[in-house]
Every structure is written in structure tokens, then in C-alpha cells.
Amino acid sequence: MVKIPIYARSIKYYYLYWKKADDEAINSVLSSKTEINVWFMKSYLGKKKISKKFKRIFLTKYSVELIPDNAKYFILKKNNKGELVITCE
């Protein structure tokens, strides 16, 4: 499980961003994959590309609208099928 802050640009541009300091934690969840199936707040977003160069994953406008106003963090973990599950805290 990895806890990533929700940045204002995440809301504005519909991406999950992380900083260089979080690279090791992100790699522990995503390993060396370049694409992964993503579940966000119990909604399936499909296969998404992981941009390790820009440290981001696209979430879609609809999914970002589901983020509660009081949420401060994205919680990333893998399910038993190897898919990325993202929730908010």
C-alpha cells in the first residue's frame, strides 16, 4: 500500500501525480510495468499507461469528480489479479 498526496494539479488535469521521493514506493506497487488495469473508487477505468518520466497516471475527468472534498491522499494497492486499486482518504 502506498499513500500519495492529492495535489491541486491532480484535480485540475485529471492525473495522479507523485514526486521523485515517492518513486521507490510507487515502484514497489507498480514494479516495472508500463501499463496496468486501474480501479478507482470501485469504478473500472481500463488499462492505463504509467508515465514514469512525468511521474503520473491518467484518471479521467469523471473519476476525479468522485474524489470527496475532504480527501487528502490517494491510496494505491494491488488486488489479487495484479490490478491497481486507487481509493481516497
Beta strands in 10-72 (DSSP E): 15-17, 35-40, 43-51, 56-58
Q: What is the pLDDT of residues 43-87, one digit of tens each?
A: 999 999 999 999 999 999 999 999 999 999 999 999 999 999 999
Q: Which domain holds residue 10?
A: 2-88
Q: What is the pLDDT of residues 21-48, one digit of tens each?
A: 999 999 999 988 999 999 999 999 999 9
For the chain, what is the domain count? 1
CB 20 within 8 A of CB 55: yes
